[in-house]
Chain A
Amino acid sequence: MSIQYCSKCVYPGVSATPLTFDDSGVCSGCRVNEMKSSIDWDRRWKMLQKITDEYRSDTNYDIVIPVSGGKDSYYQTHVAIHELGLKPLLVTYHGNNYLPEGEYNLFRMREVFDCDHIIVRPGVDTLIKMNRLGFKLQGDMNWHAHCGIFTVPIQVAVRYKVPLMMWGEHGFLDLGGMYSLNDFVEFTAKFRLEHALRGYDWHDFTDEGLEKLGRPELKEGLSAKDLMWGQYPTDDEIDAVGVRGIYLGNFVNWDANQHSRLVVEKYGWRPAAQPFERTYRMFSNLDDMHENGIHDYLKFIKFGYGRGTDHSCKDIRSGKMTRAEGIEMVRKYDHVKPRRDLERWLKYVGIPEDEFDAVCDTFRDPRVWRMENGKWVKDNIWGEASEYGNVHKDACGPGCRK
């Protein structure tokens, strides 16, 4: 079976973000993006004003804003304070791997916006264990971060009785076109569990949970008390406060490039100081030094594409890049095994590289990857098959021609 690619951008049909193709071979991400130009954004802005007005409080924060310190966080906070006149409570999950530039941006939010900021930082030993577990259990060392980012803000909203959360852009809507902009999709527990966390929840990572999953060999000695930052409130707790999470991306015409210019000029926000190994962009994911490198490399292992694809899709859709230029970015970046990042992470968690490679191989999607003469091979968007290194996993699965 060959992988279908979008005829407009460079997205593959087998991807981390669920997407579909229409009859002309254009992906749902491109189609939803095209909608932006026909939307009455003035009307949307009034809708947002109306919603936030309903939640204004005399005695409490008006809104909870989940922030990472990135360009989007600055933009959300700017809109909330200076355009909507709200008193926000900023909330951050800190997974211990900020780039220095990212941490600089994060800590300065309290100063440049003069607002209250709660930063939840789990214990470092726990985080190291969660890195190892996430990687081995489901091929994502940053599972803990997805869990923290989508849990801590709602915990805070419930605890501080602030019913409105304002997220930035809906990543799955934006990248893959999972929803229409007319759906006004809001934050849900189901989205968190199924999509952000891929069906696993915090309890799967405790010793008891791993036993239940049939993976007792992975036990790291974690208990419920180590993972309190990952425990989602109950429906009744959420209902009692009436918490809902809206996405700013449904109400303003979101243009990441324009927002970064604004936050750099107005607030002195800093992009990455050093280029990344797997993408050409300098302003994404500074809140985790492994996100653009080793975490994204895992996506290439699983699905055969990476940040080169993600970032060029965004730039193709916004008209900054042609499809041919995007394919060149894919060729240049998607397959790169990041040295700097890999070595740093392997040291952080104490895993040798050959073990890393063997675990990686257990997550290769058979719709993308095949084994030929002990090498991994896949078909590419430019119409050729290429080889991408040795097969490391011991057991040779179905379809193996070794």
Chain B
Amino acid sequence: MLKKRLIPVLLLQNGLLVRSELFKIHQIIGNPVHEVERFNQWNVDELVYLDITRGDKYDLRREDHKIKGLATPEAILDAVSRNCFMPLTWGGRIRSVEDMRRCINHGADKISINTSAVRTPELITAGAKAFGSQAIVVSIDVRAEGGSAREVFIDGGRESTGLDPVEWAIEAEKRGAGEILLQVIGRDGTGSGYDTGLIRDMSSAVRIPLVACSGVAMFEDYADGIKAGASAVAAANIWHFKELTDRAGKRAMARAGIDVRL
């Protein structure tokens, strides 16, 4: 059996890494290159980088900082991929096969699409044809609050789609997606644990790997995601809050009886 993966998700906003809460509150955590250098030292399995910038302002300048002047998403991707020796998924602002090609040429191994996958589902197939299914990750943001029905949201959680998350995952797989990245808006940055019910429903409905995200507060939470059926568990914020988070996270998974690369 394949080892289970543990994946950090880095969120890029206007050129800087941010901590995210409910897809709404964003606090600046640091610059996009340092964190990747740190993950290399830790020997992290894989990395997902999502550009959640709205508008076109990229600015991480501090005149007295050693890392200066990365003013475009391409410059940032270049600097990240130069320093990144693990498989890199890049997402955000990708609307065409051309956008995908540009990211791959700048060092991404996989492409993650979300809003554009819903708006133009043919893009999944076109991307899979051009770069192979394994390179196309469909990222799904779900609202599942209270008693209301689960629904797929796009555009950074702002636009409702009426789509059922599980049905949408099945369609994405049919159209050629190689992997699903699942995020749950109401759990983002809250430390309330994974939505294991949704992970269970979605992972049993598709054959492609499901990467679970949103809600991790403690390293012990990772095992819940795997036990609910995810092939890989991801988290964003916790990677910024504690030291040696890769080995600590994997040790917690191993303690729970999960096969990980230690």
Contacts and interface: CB of A to CB of B under 8 A. Distances in A.
B133 to A, nearest CB: 35
Most buried by B among A177, A199, A204, A239: A199
Contacts, number: 97
A180 B243 contact: no
Contacts of B31: 194, 199
Nearest to B189: A180
A349 to B, nearest CB: 18
A302 B191 contact: no
A198 B66 contact: yes
Contact of B66 (A31, A183, A199): A199
Interface string B23-46: 001111111001100100110000
A276 interface: no
Interface in A156-207: 176-180, 182-190, 193-195, 198-200, 204
Contacts of B101: none
Contact of B244 (A193, A194, A235): A235
Interface stretch (B57-65, B124-132, B145-153, B179-187): B57-65
Contact of A183 (B42, B64, B237): B237
B25 A22 contact: yes
Given A139-B63, A199-B66, A239-B247, A189 B27 contact: no
Interface residues of A, number: 41
Given A235-B41, A239-B247, A177 B63 contact: no
Contact of B27 (A179, A244, A302, A364): A179
Contacts of B243: 186-189, 238, 244-245
Given A186-B243, A204-B66, A178 B28 contact: yes
A92 interface: no
B29 A139 contact: no
Interface in B186-227: 189-191
14 contacts: A18-B29, A19-B27, A138-B64, A176-B28, A180-B27, A183-B241, A184-B241, A185-B242, A186-B242, A189-B38, A199-B31, A239-B244, A244-B242, A365-B63
What 7 pairs between A and B have smallest CB-CB spacing? A199-B66, A18-B28, A138-B64, A194-B34, A185-B241, A139-B64, A188-B243
